[in-house]
Amino acid sequence: MEEDVNGLRSEIEGLMERVMESMGMGTLLIPEEIQRGMNETANPSLDADGLRALRDDLKALL
């Protein structure tokens, strides 16, 4: 289970980078999904289901 959570966190970090790159540098408004990802990176609190939901939301932005 712990490996699954660590893998999800790693996948979320990569997705956040890809989403930010696709949005470009002139973005004034950071999407809620990115804000949630940044919060999770700084303050890990989600369980595996929450991490999967965040991952899926980030994928939808791509």
Q: Would you state the torsion angle of the CA atoms of residues 5, 50, 57, 17, taken in this order, to the nearest 10 degrees? A: -40
User: What's the angle, vertex CA 56, arms to CA 22 and CA 58, rounded to 5?
Assistant: 25
How do residues 14-27 score in pLDDT, each as one tens digit? 999 998 888 876 66
pTM: 0.83
Axis-axis angle for helices 48-61, 2-23 (nearest 10): 20
How do residues 3-58 score in pLDDT, each as one tens digit? 799 999 999 999 999 988 888 766 678 889 999 999 999 999 999 999 999 999 99
